[in-house]
Amino acid sequence: MGAIKDTYDILKDLITMAKDADNQVLVDKACELQERLFDLREDNQRLKAKVAELENQIRQLKDDPASGLTPHDGYYTKQDDHRFFCALCLDNRKKKVTMIKDGKLLFCTECGNRIIMD
């Protein structure tokens, strides 16, 4: 934690110098600064943990192409999306393929999966 550690060391020196100079007002102010620095360090640690957690979630979403999709018999749909995705390609090859819709027929050009919709 480079910058925070450096700042802490500077403040420690400042407190020592203020004590040597018998300047209690400066000692108190420097101690206040030190407390604020500890608060910032805690915030920083919390934010770093949150970033790591979010990066992990992004990684999981990227790894799972079916994330956010609703499964149906032979295909997937996504909310607010008019496309149909082939379930065979997604389940077997982790590939998100948009199916062609022709009337009640859904057709996957990648694997030949055909679905007749009710």
- Choosing from 15, 30, 106, 108, the residue that interacts with Zn ion (CB under 5 A) is 108
List, in order, residues 6 or more apart from 45 with CB less than 8 Å away: none
Task: Output the smallest distance, CB 94 to Zn ion, in A.
Answer: 12
CB nearer to Zn ion: pick between 33 and 74: 74
Q: Does residue 98 belong to the site contacting Zn ion (CB under 5 A)? A: no
- Residues 31, 8: Cα–Cα separation, whole Å: 10
x/- track of binding to Zn ion for residues 57-96 (CB under 5 A): -----------------------------x-xx-------
Considering only residues 14, 27, 37, 111, which one is a binding residue for Zn ion as defined by CB under 5 A?
A: 111
Burial 61-95, CB ≥16 within 10 A → b, else e: eeeebeeebeeeebbbeeeeeeebbbbbbbeeeee
Residue closer to Zn ion, measured from CB, 24 or 70: 70
Nearer to Zn ion, 7 or 98 (CB): 98
Residue 110 within binding range of Zn ion, rule CB under 5 A: yes
Footprint of Zn ion (CB under 5 A): 86, 88-89, 97, 108, 110-111, 113
